[in-house]
Amino acid sequence: MADMLSIGSSAANTYKTALDVTSHNIANVSTEGYSRQRAEIMSSAPGLSSVKFSGSGSYVDTVMRIQADYIQMQLNSSNASVQRYDQQLQLSKQVEGIVSGTEDGVQVFIQSFFDSLQEAADNPTSSTSRQMVLNEAGNIESHLNNLSTVFTDTQQQVNSQIKSLSDEINDRLKTIQSVNDQVERGLASGSQPPNDLLDQRDQAILELSGYIGIKTYPQENGRIDIHTANGQLPLLSDNTITELQAKLGPYGDENRIELYATIGGEDRVVSDRITGGQLGGILDFRSNMLDVAQNELGLTMNGFVASMNWQHYQGYDLNGDAGGSLFEPLASSAIKNANNDATSDDGSGISISFNPPQPAAGFNGEPPYTPATQPATYGDKEEYLQNAFTSIGEMEPREYLMIYNGTTGNFDVYDRQNESLLLGSFANDPLNPTIIDGLEFKGDGGTYAAGDRFISKPHQDVLDQFHTLITDSDLIASRGQSQIDSNNDGLLTDEVPAPAAYGDNVNIANMANLQSKKILLSDNNGAATESLLGGFAKMTSNAGMYVRSSEIQLNAQTNVHAQMLNQRDSLSGVSLDEEAANLMKFQQAYEASAQIIATSQSIFQTLLGAVRG
C-alpha cells in the first residue's frame, strides 16, 4: 500500500506542476516575446517487488521552453532589415520631394530662366525682357537658398537621430548584460533553465536588432555575445559592453555626427561598420542619398554657373563693355581634420575653384575681361571658352580628401568615398595649381606634416554660395563678337575682340542654347553626355531610384518578417484552446491522483482496523 501512496503523491505533485506551467502560459498569452513552456513528464524508475519490476509513478523532469534559436536569429535579421528600409524610405521621400518636385523643383526654375534668356534673345534691347532674366536668376537663388536650408535641416535631423539611437542601443546592451548575469547564475544554481529570463533576453535582443543589425553568439556559460551584423565590431563580448558614442566627426566644421567606439584604448570612428536597423538605414541614407543628391545637384549647378559665366564673358553689354560674372564663381575651401599635427596650418588657404587652362603661354589674362585683359584675338577667346566647356565636362559629383605627402611636399587627392582611388596631386604652392576633375586645386604654401588630412565639398559649397552678381539689366552681355573682317582674310578668329552692333543678340542666344547643349559628364572620349537639364533629370532619377529601391526592399523584408513572426508564433506562441484542453486534462489527472491517495489511505485504515480488531 505504501507504493500506491507514493505513486499517488508523485502523480499529484507532477500534475500540480503541469497545472502551474499551463496557468503560467495562459497568464502570459499577451506578453511580448514570451515562449510557451511545457512540463516534461517522465516515468519514475521502476522498483523491485514480487512481480520483479513495478512502476513507481511519474515526475517532472524539466519545464521546457518551446523555442528555436534559428527562428529567433532570422527574426532578428528580418526585423533589422525592416527597420532599416523603413527609415531609409521615410528620409529619402523627404529629400526626393524637395529636389525632384515637378512643380517647384530646381529644374522648373532653371527652365524658366532659359525661357527668359530666349525672350531676351528675341528682344535684346527690351529692358523688360532683360530684367526678366535677372528676376528668374533671383528665383533660382531663392530656391537654392531654401534647398540649402532643407539639406542643413535634414543633416541636423540625421545627427539628432544618430545620437538618440546610440543611446537606445547602449541602454539595450546594458539590459542584455544584466540578464546575461542572471542567466549564468540561474544555470549554475540548478538544472532547470531560467526560461522567463531567456525570453526577456531574446525580446531585448529583438528590440536591439530594430536599432542596429546584429549577430548573436551563444556561449557555454549561458551568456550571449553580440556583434554588429558584419561581425566587425563587438558590442557585447564576454559580457563587456563596447558603447557607441555619437559625437562630431574628425572634420568638425563639417558638422557631421559620427559614431565612435573605444577600441584598443582609442576612440575610433565606426560608422562604416554599422549596417541594418534604424541606425544602419539612417547612415545609408546619409551616404547614398543625402550626400549623393547634394553632390549631383551641386555638380549640375557648378556646370550651370561656369557655363553661364564663361559664355557671358564672350559677349558685351549695352554699354559695349565685356560681360562680367553673372553668378558668383565657385570658391571652395578645405576643412581640416582634428587629428592633424598640432603645429600644422589649418588649411584655410587651400582652395578649389573653376579656372580652366589658358589656351597658350603669354595669354593676357583671365575673365571677367577688361580691355587690358582681353585675349589678343577672338580665336584665342573662343579657344579659352572651349577649354572651359571641356573642364565642365570633366567635373565629377565627388567630395575630395586631400592628404599631405611629406615625401613629395604635395597634397595627394582622393575620392572621399573611396580612399584607395587616387585622383592626382597638387603642389603646396599658390602659384602652381593643378586641374583635377575639371577643377583647379591650389595649395597655400603653408606648413604641414605628413599625413595631415583635409576635405572639400565643392559641389555642395556652390549650393550655399549661389548668388546673382548683376543687378543692372543693362550689364547683361547680350551682344556678340563684331563680324567685321578688318584684314579681309575671310577669318574672324584673328580679329581683335570687339563688340557687335547695338541690339545684336548673338551672345544671349548662345546662352539660351546652353539649355540643350551637352556639357556635363564627359565619357572616356571626352564627349559630354548630358545637358544642364539632363543633369538635373539624372539627379532626380537617381533620387527616385533610391526611394523605389527602398520601397521594394521594405515590402520584401516586411513579408519575410511577417513569415518569421508567424513561424515563431506557430512554434512558441500560446494557444488558449490548447492550454484550456491541457488545463482540463491535468486537472482531471490531479483529481485522479488525489483519489489514488484517498483510496490508499482508506485501505490502510481498513487494514489498521482489522489488526486492532
What pLDDT digit, counting tens, does each position of 160-212 carry? 999 999 999 999 999 999 999 999 998 888 778 899 999 999 999 999 999 99
Residue 234, strand partner residues: 227
474 is a domain residue:
no
Total domains in the fold of the chain: 1
Residue-by-residue DSSP string for 264-312: TTEEEE-GGG--SHHHHHHHHHIIIIIHHHHHHHHHHHHHHHHHHHHHH
Q: So what's the pLDDT on residue 430?
A: 94
Rounded distance between C-alpha atoms, residue 251 and residue 76, angstroms: 34
Dihedral (C-alpha) 518, 523, 525, 527: value to the nearest 10 degrees?
0
For residue range 15-44, what is the model confidence (pLDDT) as tens digits?
Answer: 898 889 899 989 999 998 899 989 888 888
27 is a domain residue:
yes
53 is a domain residue:
yes
CB 422 within 8 A of CB 414: yes
Residue 424, strand partner residues: 413
204 is a domain residue:
no
Report the b/e string of 544-567 with b at 16+ CB within 10 A: eebbeebeebbeebeebbeebeee
For residue 595, the number of C-alpha atoms closer than 13 Å in the C-beta half-sphere is 6
Give yes or no for residue 51 having a pLDDT over 60: no
Give yes or no for residue 103 having a pLDDT over 80: no
46 is a domain residue:
yes
32 is a domain residue:
yes
Q: So what's the pLDDT on residue 47?
A: 57
139 is a domain residue:
no
Neighbours of 323 (CB within 10 A): 27
Q: Residue 17 is part of which domain span?
A: 2-66+573-612
142 is a domain residue:
no
Neighbours of 31 (CB within 10 A): 14
Helix (H) / strand (E) containing 116: helix 106-122
pTM given for the model:
0.89
Rounded distance between C-alpha atoms, residue 41 and residue 57, angstroms: 10
pLDDT range class, residue 46, cuts 50, 70, 90: low
- Three-state DSSP class for 234? strand
Q: So what's the pLDDT on residue 1?
A: 42
137: its cell numbers:
536668376
Residue 252 DSSP class: G
CB 172 within 8 A of CB 8: no
- Mean pLDDT of the 108-137 span: 95
